[in-house]
Amino acid sequence: MDSVTLDAVDRGLLHALQVDGRAPFSRIAEVLDVADRTVARRFARLRAHGLARVTGVPDSGRIGYAEWFLRIRVRPGGAAAVAGELARRPDTAWVIVLSGGSEVTAILRVDGQQPPPVASLSRAPQVVSLDTQRLLRHLTDRQWPGRTSALTPDQILALSTPRSEESGRVALTDLDRRLLPALARDGRTDYQHLARGLGWSDSAVRRRLEELRRNRVLRFDVEVDAAVLGFPVQAALWLDVAPAHLLAVGRALATHPEIAHACATTGSHSIVAVAVCRDSEGLFGYLTERIGAIDGVRHVETAPITSIVKRAAPV
């Protein structure tokens, strides 16, 4: 990845895309008070340098998928092979190398109530141990503030689209099964190209995509390297929390700007989270002053993030 410095327009663009990943550049330009071609050129630059990618992310629970958290300890020098194999799988997201290459973690999405298909992975010669835990609930339903603090409330409102409060499982259609993978690869693909690639009409694709978004089955995420935003120190946290305090601890973490994501899982560590800080001193202060002050947290294990091999989008 080449070195790129982000200015106010870049940060505003990234925040705008986080609000609406498919917003026309003309609308974003109006909100940012810049020219249309400036927004288009900036996004093309960020894409070319591997710094920004818009991806469509379905709600796993609503489409009948279970999520599993994998924690894999590997032999010295084995992280690249294991992480690469996981990243190439269509059922994985957030493949991360930890602790200088001694561990790999990933999220595995499984259709229905089937067990996670990890038998072949557990037999890999690089794998020392494999721990699989069911992801029970996402505890942070907001975006990490480090990438969503460039716009004013009025600008955010101007870019926002209405959403329903519907919940419950949704039966996928034949169109959905083709549309969702296409949007995962590139969430900004225009309707004409989507329709041509899927073999459906423009109007059908547009109508169904808007239905999925409006009913909160599909959202669009912007993949951005936190280091580019000035937060190069990232760590995975495993929190051992007393059961009676689990919800309260989750709510507390959701208010911390250092937490990019947190989820409740089965296993001996009931919460897994990712902390993002400006430097190691910031991480130390966060662990000792913020995490240490939360009632119910009995133990915290940390592991520095060495690299993120795959985020939500397919490689």
**DSSP string for 2-26:** ------HHHHHHHHHHHH-TT--HH
Q: Mean of the pLDDT values across residues 232-254?
A: 96
**pLDDT tens string 16-50:** 999 999 999 999 999 999 999 999 999 999 999 98
Q: Give the pair of three-digit tokens for residue 278.
A: 């400006």
pLDDT at 289: 94
Q: Among residues of the chain, what percentage have pLDDT more than 70?
A: 99
pLDDT at 143: 85
More confident residue, 304 or 119: 304
DSSP state of 171: P
* 162 has pLDDT over 90: no
* 1 has pLDDT over 50: no
* 132 has pLDDT over 50: yes
pLDDT at 3: 61
Q: Give the pair of three-digit tokens for residue 226.
A: 């936190």
With bands split at pLDDT 50, 70 and 90, how would you rate the model's confidence at 168?
A: confident
* 163 has pLDDT over 90: no
* 142 has pLDDT over 90: no
Length of the chain in terms of residues written: 315
Closest CA to 114 of 69, 68, 171: 68
Please work out, in degrees rounded to the nearest 5, the angle formed at the alpha carbon of residue 220 by the alpha carbons of 22 and 209.
Answer: 65
Give the predicted TM-score (pTM) of the model. 0.92
Please answer whether residues 297 and 314 qualify as being in contact, where contact means their C-beta atoms are separated by less than 8 angstroms.
no
The H-assigned helical ranges of 226-275 are 246-254
* 4 has pLDDT over 80: no
Q: Mean of the pLDDT values across residues 281-310?
A: 96
Closest CA to 297 of 255, 237, 257: 237
Task: Give per-residue burial for 254-291: e unless 16+ CB within 10 Å, then b.
Answer: bebebbbbbbbbeeebbbbbbbbbeeeeebeebbeebb
* 105 has pLDDT over 50: yes
**pLDDT tens string 201-219:** 999 999 999 999 999 999 9
Q: Among residues of the chain, what percentage have pLDDT more than 90?
A: 88
Q: Mean of the pLDDT values across residues 43-70?
A: 94
Q: What is the mean pLDDT of the chain?
A: 94
